[in-house]
Structures are given as C-alpha cells and as structure tokens.
Structure 1
C-alpha cells in the first residue's frame, strides 16, 4: 500500500484532550470497557489481496466515510496517530459535527485501519475503530468496533435511538466500502 504524505502542518496551539479514559480499548474488541454502549459490526466486502489493498486505502484516506455521505475535514490525508479530524453528517444548517483524533492505526500485512477517539464537542464520548482484514481463505472483511455513551444533552435525550443510528451508519459504511472495492 502506498503511503501518502499530506504536506500539511500541524497547528501550533494545544490539542484538545480526548473525552474518555479508555484510550485504545478498541484494539481488543473482546474486552471493551464497561459503562458504554458497545457496537460490533462486520461484513465481507470482497476477496483477495487487491480487494484488501483497495479497501484499506479507502478506509485510511477517509474515502469510505466521504462516499457514505459524511463530510470529513482532516489535517492529514491519511489516518495516523494524533491526526485530528471532524466527521459531520446532515444537510446544510442541519449538520452535526463530531471532532475526533486518531488514537491508533494498523498498517499490517493482513490488517489495515484505524481508531479515532472523541474530542470535546463530540456528541458522544468513546472510541470507534474501522478495520479491514484479509482472512486466510481470501475473504476481505470490514469491521467496525465502538464503545460510546452520550456526551451532549441531545444524545442523552435521544437515549436508545443513538445505538440504532450508530449501527445503521456502520452498515452504511460496509455497503459503501463493498461498492468501492468492486469499482
């Protein structure tokens, strides 16, 4: 996989802090922290090394998110630890922004992806990972793992609707990635 360099400089001002203490917990999906809603969604998106490379590139360059309808503003072209980004969804003035920071990445032979954690101003508190893996039989699998809880009044008010929306978004990302791999 070709590495991209952004040529973008990092801001000189202090970075906002992550809003949760369990940083990196999505690295071990079997042991997500208690006290949060847990999300695990996995889907096959293709087959073979070429599909794996294409899927990994789409995930780590924000292309999958953008093609799913989200807007992504990032200080870098590729996911790397410490990179800040804002993912937003909605239309026009009804757009919800979610500031995040990449907390870990995986650029491995058969596993590629990243996790971002929430920053102040995000409607939730927690972490979400987006991983593409090449399984021994050749199947390319995309997995979203997250733990979160409300951080804003409106997400607390929405209560049980939020996990349903999060799962719907994870499924949308999987469908989008499958289409990106096939084109």
Structure 2
C-alpha cells in the first residue's frame, strides 16, 4: 500500500476543501451534523474520524498505509460486495489536529470513481457545540459514475448524513 513514488491526484485543485469557495466545474457537498457538546465529544469524534473508525463503522472497508490520517497516507475505500465492490483509492491531502478542530481531507487517485476531494472535520464552536462537517467537490471519474448522473450526488448526500449519525453514536457511546 506504500508505492515508491506517490501516485498523482486525478484532479488539479489539491487542498481546495480548506478554502472557500470550492472550485467551479464540480458538484459540491457540504453536510453538517451536530454531535453533542464539550471537549470529550470533540476528542472522541476527532479520534474516530482520523483513525478511519467512522468510515469502518459506516460500512466502508478501509485499508490505509498508516493508522492515522496525515498528509501522504494512502487510503483505499471499498463499498459493495464481491464483483459489485467499488474500490476508491485516495491519498490524504491535509490533516488538522488542534484544540478546537480535528480532521483531514483526501483526494482521489487514478481508478477512483470520482475526481475531487472530500474533507471530514470535527470542530467545537464557541458555545461548546461539537459539529461534524463533510465537504466535497467532485465530478465523475469513471464511465459508470458518468452513467449514474444525478444519482451520484444523491448517494453522496445520503452517505454524508449516514456518517454524521454514525459519528454522533461513536462520539457519545464512551461518555
């Protein structure tokens, strides 16, 4: 899972999930889920996001070249079963671990069904409320995602909401 030279991203706007507005020419996703309140929720949710535990608990098979998200870490996500399994190779573009904000973004590599970037960020606001936000920009990268057309953004939104519910459970079960 660790190549000698990193595979290039299959899109040009590396790191753009950290900036706004998101790049034009892509579909955009921005889904926020309230997780709870306080430092314990922030830390539990941040750990679940950055160790890919949230992804796994949401039903995604994840192989990563390191146990925690950091720039350069390769991540391969797989959805589906058997011959219907879709592999999605990515590489972590950026990560953030500070007192109020924890998360990362990965960008798509050759072979991914989409082209673009997706971020997973947990942050504690001034009032102590903890929120999870998934932000993405993407466009079809394979024939079958082009063929699926408007179903892909619908699936992405459903998946983002599912991740938010899963993360809320994970962040609050240890309290």
2:52 to 46, 59, 62: 62
Please name the residue that 2:18 is paired with: 27
2:109 to 111, 119, 126: 119
Question: CA contact under 8 A between 2:2 and 2:74: conserved in structure 1?
Answer: no
RMSD across aligned positions (CA): 1.0
Please name the residue that 1:156 is paired with: 146
Q: Which runs of 4+ in 1 moved over 4 A?
A: none
* C-alpha deviation, 1:93, in angstroms: 2.8
Distance in 2 (CA, whole Å) between partners of 1:16 and 1:47 is 39
Distance in 2 (CA, whole Å) between partners of 1:11 and 1:179 is 32
1:169 to 159, 163, 166: 159
Aligned length: 173
Give the TM-score, by structure 2 length.
Answer: 0.96
Say if 1:76 and 1:20 are closer, same or farther in 2 by CA, change over 3 A: same
SS of the aligned residue for 1:31 comes to coil
SS of the aligned residue for 2:135 comes to strand
Give the TM-score, by structure 1 length.
Answer: 0.92
* Unmatched tracts of structure 1, length 5 or more: 1-9
1:13-52 Cα distance to aligned partner (Å, 9 max, x none): 2221101110000002x31000000000001011100010
